[in-house]
Amino acid sequence: MILEIVGQVLALLGAAIFVAAAIGLHRLPDPYTRTSAVATAAGLGITFIVAGAAFLDPHLSNTVKAIIAIVLQLATSAVGGMVIARSAVLSGHRFSSNTDPGEITDQPERNG
């Protein structure tokens, strides 16, 4: 009973993270901040949903699969978000006037 409640709460939390990311995609001003919303949702949202599913059906094989899925998702969502943002920079998308690009524009390009 407790595991089922924890699993449902985690799954709902993951869904809420995806809803927040969807709102962010609509409201955020440039590709860079939108990428941040999507990468965060992919990392945390999927993690909570998969963990919730593991709590709902707590067998050893499901737990092992959930751990593998969570580790791979956390590793790939960060890299994917960086690749998308980097491709936006290379294709010439401008930052929003409210976005602080920080060190990206302050450093000269390095080859190598």
**64: nearest Cα among 50, 48, 43, 80:** 50
From first to last of the 112 residues of the chain, give the pLDDT tens digit.
Answer: 899 999 999 999 999 999 998 998 888 888 878 888 888 888 899 999 999 999 999 899 999 999 999 999 988 888 888 888 888 878 877 777 776 666 555 555 555 4
pTM score of the predicted model = 0.74
Predicted local distance difference test score (pLDDT) of residue 106:
52
Q: How far apart are CA 99 and CA 61, in angstroms?
A: 45
59 phi-psi bin (left φ>0, alpha ψ -120 to 50, beta other): beta
**Shortest CA distance to 67 belongs to which of 44, 53, 51?**
51
What pLDDT shows up at residue 105?
Answer: 56
Domain ranges of the chain: 2-96
